[in-house]
Structure 1
């Protein structure tokens, strides 16, 4: 990341150095959820020129960020209608979409995405909306983000020299550790890598011993369903360097992994994996519904049988 570029983006304009009455009026209208007054103000040029100005309380941001934070949908729609920058940054390099996701405002998330907001948030922020939604278990918001093309194997942005296990831990890892099975399954359905949830081979090579999702789920005592899903979605069951002694006592999750190692995949299961991987390689994991095959096979490919 270019630190100089980040600071230049976040430097206020000369007109932002002074706390003007116009900016205060815009923020107050948003704070009060008074979309009518907000619309009337923005019809006047002396107010509209501050539509993308960062100011306010707490974390200075634009009026759009404030509307996203409070979930004031009508104000958010008015601001967008008057040309507010949908991907404007606050002082933490976070977009209004990131703010809406962080506060769990689904309707605002939908409107921002439909207005063209980048589903991945800002490239200058270390986190992303997908990581936040997966951590919080916001499955409906996660569905919206992924449906608008958000990266399913996204990872936190850290300098290369700071590479460690955490730096390649994507949303699938967070969903497992925080116990959000519905998010875990949704991410796999959208093509999340079931081995490391990281496709950056250069990053993985810098880590002495990266841990697979199977290892992480076993280590955190996740429910057996997490292991079953990883196996069904093609995780390499021989990657975990675990001592799985058949003669010792083991839990249900470990038993599933032992059984999978002892039982070859069915031809039907292998065919499903090949088809899904082919679609993921073309960045179209949701194109299954467009395949000219019987509905029962569609359901099987979508893990609904």
Structure 2
């Protein structure tokens, strides 16, 4: 027991005894005094035993403390300290416990978020759960992708991390990499089998024309030509970038990738790539309005349509 805990208990004992003396002096006869005093002392001993019980660290508290110690070692990228901690069975038992303010996280998640590769590899060697979720349903891989930590992304994928992240998260590693234009990370995700035409997860009632927009759409909108090309090379659907037929059926006018490229003023290179990879230039009826950029890209599409006419 710590010195502070001992002082706390002694204070409670003194308080109880003072209370007993007050009860005894307030009584009417020696017999009652003894009886009341006895009862008061017995009650105080019960209270003290409860206090001792409360002061004993619970197993969860121990896990939290040890997880916090692991997290601290990872945060400071102190591989030596982390190795020393993991050499002890009690710390290894807490390797998947969550700690910290705000969003409690595992040590592996901390290593992935900060890009501390050596700590991450050490945790994996000691059996850290590779696809553990935080309260946002984010996996360590997702946080490594978000932080653009390529070496950690590769290490996690090689160790068996799900390249698609969690089914409970609205986003995915591929969508994140496409948005950020991180071609190297995107390439590794695709190399390990990530879904190409993945879309943000939304409930059926919230389905709209944006609900089926996958990484190809996002690469175009954010102007990431290299990522756009990489996705097509790996087989992304050049029309809707979505393979969910039920989703497409629920949407009145789903937008093709061609339409999105024109709407957001993407360069002619995007249109040419879509044509080269087999996009249907007649699908659907193209509506040219004030929001459609009148540029070389549109001219190329219209010319391609003319060439295809019988």
If the length of structure 1 is used for normalisation, what is the TM-score?
0.78
| Runs of 5+ consecutive residues of structure 2 not aligned to the other structure | 1-57
CA RMSD of superposed structures (Å): 1.9
Structure 1 CA distance, aligned partners of 2:222 and 2:228?
Answer: 10
Structure 2 CA distance, aligned partners of 1:15 and 1:232?
Answer: 61
Maintained 8 Å contact 2:179/2:215: yes
Structure 2 CA distance, aligned partners of 1:50 and 1:19?
Answer: 5
Structure 1 pair 243–97 and aligned structure 2 pair: CA distance change class (3 A): closer
Maintained 8 Å contact 2:64/2:99: no
Q: Deviations over 1:216-255 (max 9, x none)?
A: 000000011011111111111001422569xxx9420011
Q: 1:53 aligns with which of 97, 103, 113?
A: 97
SS in 1 for 2:135: coil
Aligned length: 249
Displacement of 1:151: 0.3
Displacement of 1:125: 0.9
Name the counterpart of 1:233: 277
1:144 aligns with 2:178: no
Maintained 8 Å contact 2:130/2:160: yes
Alignment of structure 1 residues 147-296 onto 2, 5 Å: 147-242=191-286, 250-264=294-308
| Runs of 5+ consecutive residues of structure 1 not aligned to the other structure | 1-13, 266-305
Displacement of 1:59: 2.2
If the length of structure 2 is used for normalisation, what is the TM-score?
0.77
Maintained 8 Å contact 1:16/1:54: no
Displacement of 1:18: 6.8
1:25 aligns with 2:99: no
Structure 1 CA distance, aligned partners of 2:59 and 2:298?
Answer: 62
Maintained 8 Å contact 2:70/2:107: yes
Greater fraction helix: 2
SS in 2 for 1:263: helix
Structure 1 CA distance, aligned partners of 2:119 and 2:173?
Answer: 22
Q: Deviations over 1:237-287 (max 9, x none)?
A: 001422569xxx94200111011112249xxxxxxxxxxxxxxxxxxxxxx
Structure 2 CA distance, aligned partners of 1:190 and 1:25?
Answer: 43
Structure 1 pair 181–244 and aligned structure 2 pair: CA distance change class (3 A): same
Name the counterpart of 2:81: 37
Structure 2 CA distance, aligned partners of 1:214 and 1:138?
Answer: 22
Name the counterpart of 2:47: none
Displacement of 1:52: 0.5
Maintained 8 Å contact 2:83/2:122: yes
Structure 2 CA distance, aligned partners of 1:95 and 1:209?
Answer: 34
Maintained 8 Å contact 2:63/2:97: no
Name the counterpart of 1:292: none
Maintained 8 Å contact 2:64/2:97: no
Q: 1:95 aligns with which of 125, 132, 139?
A: 139
The worse-fitting range, judged by mean Cα deviation, of 17-26 and 66-75 is 17-26
1:84 aligns with 2:128: yes
Structure 1 CA distance, aligned partners of 2:122 and 2:163?
Answer: 21
Displacement of 1:21: 2.6
SS in 1 for 2:97: coil
Displacement of 1:124: 1.1
